[in-house]
Amino acid sequence: HRIPAWYCPDGHITVSRETPTLCATCGRTDLHQDEDVLDTWFSSGLWPFSTLGWSEQTPDLLRYYPTDVLETGYDILFFWVARMIMSGLWFLDQIPFHTVYLHGLVRDEHGEKMSKTKGNVIDPLIVMDKYSTDALRFTLLTGGSPGNDMNLAESQIEYNRNFGNKLWQMSRFVITNLGDQSSFSLPSPEKLDAPSAWIMSRLNTLVSNVNRLYDSHQFGEGGRQIREFLWDEFADWYVEISKNALYGTDQDAKQDTRAVLLTVIDTCLRLLHPYMPFITEEIWSYLPNRESALIIAAFPQPDSRYLNEGATVIMDQVRDLIVKLRNTRVTYNVDPAKRIQAIAEGESAPRIAALAPIFSRLCNIESISILNGDSTAQAAAVVSGDATLYLPLAGMVDLSAERERLSKELGTISAQIDKTEKNLSNEQFVSRAKPEVVEKERAKLADLKQAQQSVRERLAALG
């Protein structure tokens, strides 16, 4: 806005909305307007209502002023936010918004301010073309916390591009396995099997958390929780477990599993849409019985009927056991294709044994029996909570060959320990070497001794 002030040769000032013809003080007609403009923040301070047709009482002004939340950077709190509030109070007797959400500045991965001189600028147009707009948007929304600066690395954008790819793959799996059926009825909570009860409980916990985080403007944490649920729980676990029902012969189990898969994807697309609008809208278009557009679909609300602490406890235990079983197979060099037996012991052993098909698919366990006076000698054991799974080594490895291999490994480790201890007992080495080198040797010795103890325990288990 050009400054609305006019000057006469006598130095008098006339301020007017319209171009004046006479000086308001002396009546002279030879006036000239101030050539300068108002500060840019003055003009910006009018933004909340000038964009709505003010100074007329337009329908838009009556409907949208005042608004609710302003989102901006903390660096212009005084320059812009304060001026909007002052202008709103002066011209309309109302503040323009009741809440101000301040984000931090985007810096490079080392915390330095981006500048062309430093050559550390990440051009949004380039990374959007390289990794997708959704990936950049999700990274910016989840990479920081309110009011704090964000250190942005291109690797973060690439990681979230990979998350978008994962979302596409898991959605395609679900849609492909729905078949030609157009409608699905989600079973009541009591009719769900343990894995489905678990994922539905986790889903409704997620919905509750995201709604709470949205209400408190913690958008970054909300997005991170959606990503972790979809990638770490749904894709890595439930999708794999669901294949037992989808590829089995029990039609009721197949239908229930399809309904759960669809419910999870439908709900998560709604949750994720504000963060990744393009890919979620595209996937949404392939879902059966969808509304016309995801952007106008209702936002999810939690259903407490599906919260199931018992299913969560048992499935957390199952997942922990499976991870440890996989590690044990690697430790004993068991052929990945070899199916092995397990014996369960503990209070939850019957529940673990009942879920044997999950272990069969995810870690190639042939069967799980319950310990009943059986000998657990020469068996590897994995423990989670009140459950222990024993893996009889005789059916898992060649005991003689494994003893020989471990003995050689123990000899190699012991030789490395002797060499490292010799270095650390050498006063000249300790006094002359850099402190970080000495510390590295000490850490190496601790790791070697831990490995030595592990090999000894495995040898003892072999008998």
Quote the Cα angle for 114-119-123, to 5°. Answer: 65
Two structure tokens written together for 19? 């171009």
CB 229 within 8 A of CB 199: no
pLDDT band at 78 (very low <50, low <70, confident <90, very high): very high
Give the per-residue pLDDT at 42. Answer: 86
Let me know if residue 131 belongs to a domain.
no
What range defines the domain where residue 359 resides?
Answer: 311-395
From 307, 329, 356, give the residue that closes a domain: 307
My answer on whether 155 and 301 are in the same domain is yes
CATH number (domain holding residue 439)? 1.10.287
93 pLDDT exceeds 80?
A: yes
From 353, 368, 395, give the residue that closes a domain: 395
Locate all alpha helices (DSSP H) within 332-433, ordered by sequence.
349-354, 356-363, 399-425, 427-432
For residue range 268-311, what is the model confidence (pLDDT) as tens digits? 999 999 999 999 999 999 999 777 899 999 999 999 999 999 99
341 pLDDT exceeds 80?
A: yes
From 376, 395, 414, give the residue that closes a domain: 395
Tell me the range of 172-181, 372-381, 449-458 where mean pLDDT is highest: 172-181
Give the C-alpha separation, 131 to 103, whole Å. Answer: 23
CA atoms within 13 A on the CB side of 126: 4
Q: Which of 399-413, 416-430, 438-452 has the lowest mean pLDDT?
A: 399-413
Two structure tokens written together for 32? 């000239």
Helix, strand, or coil (residue 381):
strand
- Which helix (DSSP H) or strand (DSSP E) does residue 383 occupy? strand 379-384
375 pLDDT exceeds 60?
A: no
CA 247 to chain CA centroid, Å, is 30
Two structure tokens written together for 243? 């294949």
Let me know if residue 128 belongs to a domain.
no
Give the per-residue pLDDT at 195. Answer: 98
3-state SS, 270-322, equals HHHCCCCHHHHHHHHCCCCCCCCCHHHCCCCCCCHHHCCHHHHHHHHHHHHHH
My answer on whether 348 and 391 are in the same domain is yes
My answer on whether 223 and 364 are in the same domain is no
My answer on whether 279 and 331 are in the same domain is no
- Total tally of structural domains belonging to the chain: 4
Question: Nearest CA to 391 among 321, 286, 440, 300?
Answer: 321
Residue matched to tokens 């288990």: 461
376 pLDDT exceeds 60?
A: yes
67 pLDDT exceeds 90?
A: yes
Give the per-residue pLDDT at 426. Answer: 92
> What is the chain's alpha carbon radius of gyration, rounded to the nearest angstrom?
33
pLDDT band at 377 (very low <50, low <70, confident <90, very high): low
Question: Nearest CA to 41 among 5, 11, 86?
Answer: 86
Let me know if residue 323 belongs to a domain.
yes
pLDDT band at 148 (very low <50, low <70, confident <90, very high): confident
DSSP 147: T
Two structure tokens written together for 380? 């590897």
Give the C-alpha separation, 85 to 44, whole Å. Answer: 11
Average confidence (pLDDT) over 368-381: 76
My answer on whether 159 and 195 are in the same domain is yes
Average pLDDT, the chain: 92
Question: Long-range contacts for 358-361 (Cβ within 8 Å, ≥24 apart)?
Answer: 358/195, 358/241, 358/244, 358/318, 358/322, 359/318, 359/321, 359/322, 359/325, 361/240, 361/241, 361/243, 361/244
Let me know if residue 1 belongs to a domain.
no
Give the per-residue pLDDT at 47. Answer: 94
My answer on whether 295 and 157 are in the same domain is yes
Give the per-residue pLDDT at 381. Answer: 83
For residue range 120-141, what is the model confidence (pLDDT) as tens digits? 999 999 999 999 999 999 999 9
My answer on whether 265 and 197 are in the same domain is yes
Percent of the chain with pLDDT over 90: 71
CB 232 within 8 A of CB 224: no
My answer on whether 334 and 365 are in the same domain is yes
My answer on whether 74 and 200 are in the same domain is no
CB 459 within 8 A of CB 332: no
Which residue has better confidence, 113 or 198?
198
The amino acid at 272: L
Give the C-alpha separation, 352 to 346, whole Å. Answer: 10
Give the C-alpha separation, 162 to 142, whole Å. Answer: 15
My answer on whether 183 and 53 are in the same domain is no
My answer on whether 379 and 430 are in the same domain is no
My answer on whether 242 and 165 are in the same domain is yes
